[in-house]
Structure 1
Amino acid sequence: MNFESRIMELESRLAFQDDTIQALSDELLEQNRRIERMQLQLTALARRQEELNGLSGIAEDEAPPPHY
C-alpha cells in the first residue's frame, strides 16, 4: 500500500468516525431531553399523589387497620 492510498484510507476512517461521533452525540442529547421530561413528570406525579393523600385524609405515618 502506498503513502497516498494510506492517507485516503485514514481520511475515510476519520470521516466515518466523525459521523459516528455526531450521531452518538445527537442521541445522547435526545436521551437527556427525555430524562428531563420524565423527571418533570415524576415530580408532577409525586405532587399529585401528595395532594390526593391530603384530600383523602391518609396520613403517611398512619398504619393500616388490622384485618380480622
Structure 2
Amino acid sequence: MADDAARIDALEERIAYQDEAIETLNQTVTAQWAVIDALKREVAALGERLEDAVSGPAPVDRPPPHY
C-alpha cells in the first residue's frame, strides 16, 4: 500500500511538472507565432514596395538641385 501511494505521488508530481512545461511551451509557441505573423506581414509589405519600385517610372538622370 505504501509503495502504491509513493508511486501515485511520484506520478502526480511528474504530471504537475509536465503541465507546467507544456504551458510554458505553449506560451513560447504562441509568442513565436505572433512574431512570425508580424514578419510575414513585413515581408509582404517589402515585396509590394519592391514591385512598386521595379515597375515604377525610370528615374530621371539630372543633377541634384544644389548645382
TM-score (norm 1): 0.75
Which amino acid is 1:23 matched to? Answer: T
Structure whose alpha-carbon radius of gyration is higher: 2
Any runs of at least 4 consecutive aligned residues in structure 1 with deviations exceeding 6 A, and if so which?
Answer: none
| Structure with higher RCO (Cα < 8 A, 6+ apart) | 1
* Structure 1 vs Structure 2 CA RMSD: 1.4
Please give the TM-score of this superposition, normalised by the length of structure 2: 0.76
Identity of aligned residues (%): 28
Name the structure 1 match of 2:4: 3
Q: Which runs of 5+ in 1 are unaligned?
A: 58-68
Matched, 1:14 2:9: no
